[in-house]
Chains A and B, each alone.
Chain A
Amino acid sequence: MQAKHLVLHGIAIKKHATVDEVAGITGLDRDAVQQIVDDAVAAGRVQQAGDKVMLAPAAQMALTGEYRKAFSGLREDDGFLAAYQDFEKINVDLKQVITEWQTMTVGGEQVPNDHSDSEYDDAVIDKLGDVHERVEGVLDRLAAKLPRLSIYKNKLLTALEKAEDGDTAWVSDARTESYHTVWFELHEDLLRITGNKRSE
């Protein structure tokens, strides 16, 4: 994918993002991203709101066509697709762990986890670590075919280690690059690459 398309792709995944965040998720140089964003804003493909940018509807459509060209090889690559299928299976377990993080079962009923029980929380973070160990090998297989995907492995490990160190916002907080936020973006990226749709 060319840099100018990769920037649009990065914005599409982050939805509302700063130039720094787009650079972070695409692995492109910040100044290069700024230049491409400025050009795209001038051309009406990207809208700017404060320090955040988002895609204009026309750019969304153009990107779909671009994916068909850029990812046609990966969409027929058995190794990549097998790794993607493994990711989807682990995704089911990740969602379960996030649910356990946010709710606990008390006497058979679901109640919100108020995070007053550090032993419970530590056990869930430990399960997140189990998921991470399983997904690491899958991410290596994906990155072997598309090297920029290794960015997610680093971001996931960063979030996991912050959570392990006791900063629990890094598990699922939607406002930070928490483990769940990064995982969701990775999933979004893979869906766009493979041309699949998200199933709830």
Chain B
Amino acid sequence: MNEPRWTVILDGSAPPPRERIGGKAWSIARMRSLDLPVPPAFVVTTEACAAYQAEGDLPPGLTDELAAGVAWLEECTDRTFGSGPSPLLISVRSGAAISMPGMMDTILNLGINETTMAALATEAGDERFARDTYRRFHELYAGIVLKLPDPDLDPDSEPAAWRASIEQSAPQGVPQDVREQLAAAVRAVFDSWQSRRAKRYRKHHDIPDDLGTAVTVQAMVFGNLDDTSGTGVLFTRDPLTGERKPYGEYLARAQGEDVVSGRFTPQRIEELATALPAIHDQLMQAGDTLEAENGDIQDIEFTVQHGTLYLLQSRTAKRAPAAAVRAAVEMAVEGRINRQQVLERVTASQARSLLKPHLAEGVADRAETLATGQGASPGVGVGIVVTDSDEAERRHAAGEAVVLARATTSPDDVHGMLSATAVVTEQGGSTSHAAVVGRSLGLPCVVGCGDASVTTLAGRTVTVDGAAGAIYAGALDVVIPDERADKRLAQLLTWAAEASPLAVYRPEDAPADTNILDLDRIEGGEDPERLAELLAGHTAARGGAIASDEGVAAALIAGLTFIVADPTLPPLLAAIAAGNGPNESRPTPESQSQGRR
């Protein structure tokens, strides 16, 4: 075969530029160049997309090149596409040089049909797994390629019934020929380039329409084939505390969906060291390489297939506010990142969240618990229980602190919620109206406490802990954390004070010789939008909305010498963020993502 024109095999040699193969393929190529084990893949280039858009069809020669790419995957994996005994299944993903919304979602398990389903069942010794794989592929294909509004299939039905239900809405159905499946998926990726969202995003961000998207085709790996197979997730540091120790889980003889579904309880990652020590060491090394390379905590999905480790995805880990602070400060001490990166990485809202009032240690244990439910929005609220939203509004207006208790809430109750220090309900879960609105208002909220559990508390003074999901009798002691008492926060505070373009003083340290505008004493001082006019002509301010992100930005624009606040860390971080220029959303390069999530 001649030099391929529309595809590139990602065999570890120097990759073509990002513009040609897209961000996802580029990051696979980069991981391969770091000697990290990733499942074999090839990519259909953005040039093929441009040709498709121009001609309205797949360019001549692409079908043969897809076949050649698949043959290479077969060779690497020792599996075959469309037949047994070890069938090759593949994933198909869109990937432009710049990530944008509206592009096609990933199709997994492409290559499964009646024949390969039977082969997979035999190979894994697990018929249910093979059927689930077949069903999941049909759901994805029906939703993504055939665009059915509700592609979910009944897991208890037979494959023939699944196909019939799809064909009822889309007569063409799902092809049994696996090469037709692949061609249709590639077309669907190219078509998604013209979706409303993608077109709009390009226009908004001045991205040329002819840039095109690439299509990454990658071998699927299976963690459920035998006892030397498994799947798991590794965080290079604890995402809750930030401590530098591996954190994660591993489930032997399982697929990633099994971990997510909760059907099985995974083991701690440490268990992998006992079960497969060489794999464990290789994984830890890979984690360190990726963390050093990316300069941040990594969240890595991996699968072990027949005793071979494959990294499916590595990305920057989501973290709790406490972990954000600890990991950033420690990485700076380790020399992995610099101070400026620390200050850009820890946000003002993370600092605010850490410094938010919480219940004093142990008071909850001694308090009488009146009701418990699902904690839906964190924070502590104290007040008299009222069960009617109009009453809540009236009593709040009269200066009382109220907790709104309802069987459920509806849009009828929003004015009552706006008046309350917390909201509690008897029915509903984390997606119920009370939970959704409570989070949107930053209001402590506990839901699903059970029938007649909270409305019966009318008239009593209670304390609601939205994080713990509990309602306690009486007004409990609330602790206000001290930013100077915690050594990492104190370190961050020192660095932030040095770097901030705006001085922030604690009330007791404020210079006495300066006239400080007190926004608490000024009409409108609590409204961030009015601060620009109120601050004009002043040199210093305190109170009102001055410590909010908007307040700090207004103080910088008004040219204030300093502000007074407690705590000082959030406004300092906000000032640093504002001083670095507007942090609006801009096109970001694709992150590495070959995983299932």
Task: Check B431 against A98 for contact (C-beta < 8 Å).
Answer: yes
Minimum distance in angstroms from B95 CB to a CB of chain A: 14
Task: Check A15 against B412 for contact (C-beta < 8 Å).
Answer: yes
Q: Which residues of A contact B318 (CB under 8 A)?
A: 104-106, 117, 120
Q: Give the docked Cα–Cα distance between A135 and B147 (Å).
A: 11
Task: Check A112 against B377 for contact (C-beta < 8 Å).
Answer: yes
Judge if A51 is at the interface, Cβ distance under 8 Å: no
Q: Which residues of B contact A98 (CB under 8 A)?
A: 431, 436
Partner of B439, one of A103, A120, A130: A103
Task: Check A116 against B101 for contact (C-beta < 8 Å).
Answer: no
Interface residues on A, range: 35 or more
Q: Mark B417-457, 1 if CB is under 8 A from A, else 0.
A: 10000000001111111011101110000000000000000
Task: Check A184 against B320 for contact (C-beta < 8 Å).
Answer: no
Task: Check A102 against B436 for contact (C-beta < 8 Å).
Answer: yes
Minimum distance in angstroms from B466 CB to a CB of chain A: 9
Task: Check B347 against A114 for contact (C-beta < 8 Å).
Answer: yes
Task: Check A89 against B436 for contact (C-beta < 8 Å).
Answer: no
Q: Give the docked Cα–Cα distance between A181 and B410 (Å).
A: 11
Q: Which residues of B contact A20 (CB under 8 A)?
A: none
Judge if B201 is at the interface, Cβ distance under 8 Å: yes
Which one, A63-71, A146-154, A161-169, is touching chain B? A161-169
Judge if A180 is at the interface, Cβ distance under 8 Å: yes
Minimum distance in angstroms from A45 CB to a CB of chain B: 17
Q: Give the docked Cα–Cα distance between A151 and B247 (Å).
A: 49
Q: Give the docked Cα–Cα distance between A125 and B437 (Å).
A: 18
Partner of A166, one of B196, B437, B585: B585
Partner of A172, one of B143, B204, B440: B440
Partner of B320, one of A16, A107, A130: A107
Judge if A173 is at the interface, Cβ distance under 8 Å: yes
Question: By the criterion of a CB under 8 Å from any partner CB, how many residues of chain B are at the interface?
Answer: 53
Given A103-B439, A109-B320, A112-B377, CB of A130 within 8 Å of CB of B240: no
Task: Check B149 against A111 for contact (C-beta < 8 Å).
Answer: no
Judge if A118 is at the interface, Cβ distance under 8 Å: yes
Q: Give the docked Cα–Cα distance between A103 and B439 (Å).
A: 8
Task: Check B430 against A110 for contact (C-beta < 8 Å).
Answer: yes
B407's closest neighbor in chain A, by CB?
A200
Q: Give the docked Cα–Cα distance between A28 and B152 (Å).
A: 38
Task: Check B353 against A114 for contact (C-beta < 8 Å).
Answer: yes
Q: Which residues of A contact B152 (CB under 8 A)?
A: 89
Judge if B411 is at the interface, Cβ distance under 8 Å: yes
B428's closest neighbor in chain A, by CB?
A200
Q: Which residues of B contact A181 (CB under 8 A)?
A: 411
A117's closest neighbor in chain B, by CB?
B318
Given A112-B377, A174-B437, CB of A164 within 8 Å of CB of B197: yes
A119's closest neighbor in chain B, by CB?
B588
Residue among B197, B319, B417 with the highest chain A CB neighbour number at 10 A: B197
Q: Give the docked Cα–Cα distance between A166 and B143 (Å).
A: 27
Q: Give the docked Cα–Cα distance between A129 and B431 (Å).
A: 19
Given A86-B150, A106-B240, A164-B200, CB of A116 within 8 Å of CB of B349: yes
5 smallest beta-carbon distances between A and B, as pairs:
A107-B239, A102-B439, A200-B428, A126-B101, A116-B347
- Interface residues of B, Cβ cutoff 8 Å to A: 101-102, 105, 143, 149-150, 152, 195-197, 200-201, 204, 235, 238-240, 247, 318-321, 323, 347, 349-350, 353, 377-378, 408, 410-412, 414-415, 417, 427-433, 435-437, 439-441, 584-585, 588, 591
